[in-house]
Structure 1
Amino acid sequence: MTPADLSLTVQHAVRRAVDEGALRVTVPARVVVERARPGGCGDYASNVALALAREAGCSPREVGLAIIERLQGNPEISRVDITGPGFLNFTLSSDTQQELVSGILRLGVDYGRRPPTGDLAQPVHRADVRAAVTADAIRRILLFQGTLLRVACEDAADPDWAQLGVRIEAQHARGRLVTDIAPLPVPYTASELLLRFGRDAARWGLLSAAAHDHARLGDELLHQHEGNPLFRVRYAHSRTRALLRNAEQLGFRSEPQQAVDAPALTALLRDHPAVLASAARLRAPDRVARHLEATADALLAFQHTVLPLGDEKPSAAHRSRLALAEAAGTVLAGGLALLGISAPDQI
């Protein structure tokens, strides 16, 4: 169960409580689910009971108990606790890692995609290269999250932006709409960035820092080594493809048959839909970049355990580890695509 799945499950429980007369509230359009914080317990937590208590005319604990009652019997949720002033803390069932991996492999790069919401956005970006690339990444992420949109530039667009993958939909929006995409600018033109870094590295350098921070356009982007975060992400993806090729030569394929001892990597894969939802809501593609870096580092630390060693025969454990690695590679490829960056199979 992913955070997005858990969010929908809790939302449905609230709706059931309302339909059955246990709560008199407006069913929220979205239930926020986050990793459990210090002081909490379990895998995830939500403030939904706190948020609904005033409207319900009862305590957060009473709201929480009404929700918990309608979550009972869900095989993917092991237990739900109420902590602090009324936070719901969810512990997922221990067998959900296999379900998570199977779901990612089934959905491929569509893992984390949301159906159309009916929402419409009209973001406007400042007329400089960093704002244009940021707006393009936001467009990709919002579309992936089910939002219809039309991106506009406040002034005339630079034709060279197209070589960085930017799609120009409207220009000269100054005065008609509020400019809301305006990260710190960079002292380079699109053609200068392309000449120095190429498209992929230039986009990563422009997108991987938060809008209020300076873009990461240092010399590390020019080198194929671990000090280059883009290289680590793309190398980690290419390692998953190499592992699949090597496993095929050894006569086995990926299959999530049993749980794998890789909690950090598993948690990052499970968080991917929530990261995308957060990046869309906050219009912050840098969140996707940071998540990809963390996923790549966890995968590179894990990938040495995947293939059999010496005379060891492939087992269910190897097939399950390979499946987890393949799922991680899928998440890396999908995340890079949302940033407009390629994910080569070999580096």
Structure 2
Amino acid sequence: MTPEQLRDLVRTAVGAAVERGTLAVAVPDDLVLERPKNPEHGDYATNVAMRLAKPAGRPPREVAEAVAAELRALEGVDRVDVAGPGFLNITLAKDALGRLAVRAVTEGEAYGRTETLAGQRLNLEFVSANPTGPVHIGGTRWAAVGDALGRLLTASGAEVSREYYFNDAGAQIDRFARSLQAAALGRPVPEEGYAGDYIGEIAAQVVALEPGVLELPADEQQERFRVRGVELMFAEIKRSLAGFGVAFDTYFSEKTLHDSGALEKAIARLRAQGHVYDADGAVWLRTTDFADDKDRVLVKGDGEPTYFAADCAYYLDKRERGFDKVVIMLGADHTGYVGRYKALVAAMGDDPQANLEILIGQLVNLVRNGEPVRMSKRAGTVVTLEDLVEAIGADAARYALARASVDQQIDLDLDAWTRQTNDNPVFYVQYAHARIASLLRNAADLGLAATLDPPSPADVDTAALAHQREGDLLRAIGEFPRVVASAAELRAPHRVARYLEELAGTYHRFYDVCRVLPRGDEEATPLTTARLWLCAATAVVLRNGLGLLGVTAPERM
């Protein structure tokens, strides 16, 4: 029985008390269940009686006794005690708790998935690094967190489209083109241009792919470097992300907004709604009407649209594609951007609370041998995605970057994340999975593989799982669907990582005191079978949880 199933039983018990006339209250939707610190207090505890006491007009303990009487009659509940001012301490029937192992194994990859976000259609935009250089460490954090969040949202029933918005128009692309052009001609980096070995590499590729490009007039030459250079740089970005296990459903070009008339369309819509005005030769959006600190320019005096105009057009395009909510993941340097984006959403006639969500990520500081790591071997001034993967591996990089809350700055110790010791969190979790895989292989060698594939899972005597460490592990397994749902709802993949570390520790403590396989000439018993199912269930949860973070679950280490 999972915690959510127990919540349903408690609701059923309250409803039964209401039907009998014992209580006169509304059945609550949101029930809090906790795992008591003292196992003698049962498997779960709830304060529902204290919450219902005031609307019922009764003392909390009287309400608790009324609910407890109904709960005791329900299948799967072994004991209900009323404690303190009105807590209900619930002990599940041993078989009800043990069946969690059977459920996890039989559901396999589906275990942990819910429908809590069913019906939501979300556009999730993350990374969106400009195609003017490799993905830097900040973008790498969003790659890890954004991909994990997409997996979590999908696992919770939402329809999610992952989107990468690349700025292939504007001044930064012109500077990129001039930088490539200068490198190909052997000239110094232009003012505000881009440096790093990668510029010379891409410039050489452009020359190889565009015979005669260096003989073209300067303007045509720069245009060829712009078009081909962006194409090559973005191909490299895609390749780096793919190597990191990150793929997108849509790669959206900013240039298409300019070429298709989408900017003019968005501005016309905003003007028709009375939010656009002309002043000082420019076109403005009156964002101060929507709590922004100042109005924003859409078209400059020279007729050039601003980045903000493109943002307006891009938001409108997403909504017209049918997305209920636009979720955007931005770096720490974009904090001041939130207010203006909320204002444009409101100006479009939408509700920023319902239709927009912006997540701001904090910085990542890399450390090696106690010293900051600042320089990339290839990019020159930044540490890139490929630098990090080369240093600690894709699994460790993804886990490390997703393990902290997005609003928390990370100090990532490269030495610690390469150690194969228990103080390396990803190793600790992966080792637990590999340890179980080894145990299950040993079980197969002893001829016990069939115990995990009986004629019917109902034949497994899960009531035999009566040891305290077995109960701890079963309750931890039962928490997984709730952890996944809350991590998705709160946009917090780090909750999955921390849960997995706790689960791995709970498994290791179980394994240390509960012998699973028979020794010597001992015969396998129903307890042997039940413990094998418990181990296999733990492996399912570890595998599914790591999968949500985009991290592998090795069977050998």
Smaller-chain TM-score range? 0.7 to 0.9
Partner of 1:110: 110
Given candidates 201, 206, 221, the residue that maps to 2:417 is 221
Amino acid at match of 2:145: T
**Does structure 2 retain, via aligned residues, the 8 Å contact 1:150–1:169?**
yes
Aligned 1:142-291 pairs, distance under 5 A: 142-149=153-160, 159=238, 160-168=240-248, 175=341, 176=345, 179-187=357-365, 188-211=383-406, 212-214=408-410, 216-253=412-449, 254=451, 256-257=460-461, 258-259=464-465, 261=467, 262-263=469-470, 264-291=472-499
CA distance in 2, matches of 1:260, 1:91: 12
Q: Which residue of 2 aligns with 1:87?
A: 87
Output one character per residue of 1:312-345: Cα deviation in whole Å (capped at 9) or x when no partner: 3333332222221111111111111111111122
Instruction: Indicate if the aligned counterparts of 2:98 and 2:474 stay in contact, CA closer than 8 A.
Output: no
Once the two structures are aligned, what percentage of the paired residues are identical? 36
- Aligned equivalent of 1:307: 517
| CA distances 1:52-90 after superposition (whole Å, capped 9, x unpaired) | 444455554454444334323223112223334433321
**Matched residue type, 2:501:** E
* Unaligned stretches of 5+ residues in structure 1: none
Aligned to 1:181, the other structure's residue is in SS state strand
Q: 8 Å contact 2:64–2:88 — kept in the other structure? A: yes
Pick from 294, 316, 326: which aligns with 2:502? 294
1:332 and 2:542 correspond: yes
| Number of aligned residue pairs | 347
Q: Which moved more, 1:8-17 or 1:149-158?
A: 149-158
Matches of 1:295 and 1:141, distance apart in 2: 18
Native 8 Å contact 2:400 2:412 kept in 1: yes
Tell me by how many angstroms 1:291 deviates: 1.8
Cα distance per residue 1:19-63 (max 9 Å; x no partner): 666555554444232212579932112233334444455554454
Whether contact under 8 Å (2:11, 2:28) holds in the other structure is yes
Q: Which structure is larger by alpha-carbon Rg, 1 or 2? A: 2
What is the DSSP-based 3-state SS (H/G/I as helix, E as strand, rest coil) of the residue aligned with 1:70?
helix
Q: Deviations over 1:259-288 (max 9, x none)?
A: 253343233223323322332343322221
CA 1:278–1:232: 2 relative to 1, 3 Å: same
CA offsets 1:136-181 (integer angstroms, 9 cap, x no match): 2222223222344456679869644454333446776561465542
For the 8 Å contact 1:40–1:83, the answer to whether it is kept is no
TM-score, normalised relative to structure 1: 0.83
Change (3 A) 1:9 1:280: farther
Question: Please, which moves more after superposition, 173-182 or 85-94?
Answer: 173-182
Question: Displacement of 1:106 after TM fit?
Answer: 1.4
Rounded Cα–Cα distance in structure 1 between residues aligned with 2:66 and 2:163: 45
> 2:211 — aligned with what?
none
Alignment CA distance shift 1:35-1:154 (3 Å): farther
Q: Which residue of 2 aligns with 1:34?
A: 34
Counterpart residue identity of residue 547, structure 2: A
Q: Which amino acid aligns with 1:246?
A: N
How much has 1:205 moved relative to structure 2?
A: 0.7
Q: Which amino acid aligns with 2:44?
A: Y
The aligned amino acid for 1:181 is L
1:137 aligns with 2:148: yes
C-alpha distance in structure 1 between counterparts of 2:540 and 2:413, whole Å = 27
Deviates more, 1:115-124 or 1:266-275: 115-124
Alignment gaps of 5+ in structure 2: 128-138, 168-233, 253-310, 312-327, 329-337, 346-351, 366-382, 453-459
Q: How does 1:3-82 map to 2 (within 5 A)?
A: 3-17=3-17, 25-36=25-36, 41-82=41-82
Q: 1:215 to 1:339 in 2, by over 3 A?
A: farther
Moved more, 128-137 or 101-110: 128-137
Alpha-carbon contact 1:120-1:148 (below 8 Å) kept: yes
Q: CA RMSD in A?
A: 3.4
Q: Greater shift after overlay, 195-204 or 306-315?
A: 306-315
In structure 1, distance between residues paired with 2:387 and 2:21 = 63
Cα distance in 1 for residues equivalent to 2:126 and 2:24: 45
Cα drift, residue 298 of structure 1: 3.0
Check 1:37–1:233 CA distance in 2 against 1; reply closer, same or farther (3 A cut).
closer
Is the 8 Å Cα contact of residues 77 and 93 (structure 1) preserved in structure 2?
yes
Match of 2:272 in 1: none
User: Which is further off, 252-261 or 12-21?
Assistant: 12-21
Is the 8 Å Cα contact of residues 123 and 179 (structure 1) preserved in structure 2?
no
Specify which structure has the higher proportion of strand. Answer: 2
The alignment partner of 1:31 has SS state of: coil
> Secondary structure in 2 aligned to 1:80?
strand
TM-score of the aligned structures, taking structure 2 as reference length: 0.55
Q: Name the counterpart of 2:283.
A: none
Question: What SS does the corresponding residue of 1:115 show, helix, strand or coil?
Answer: coil
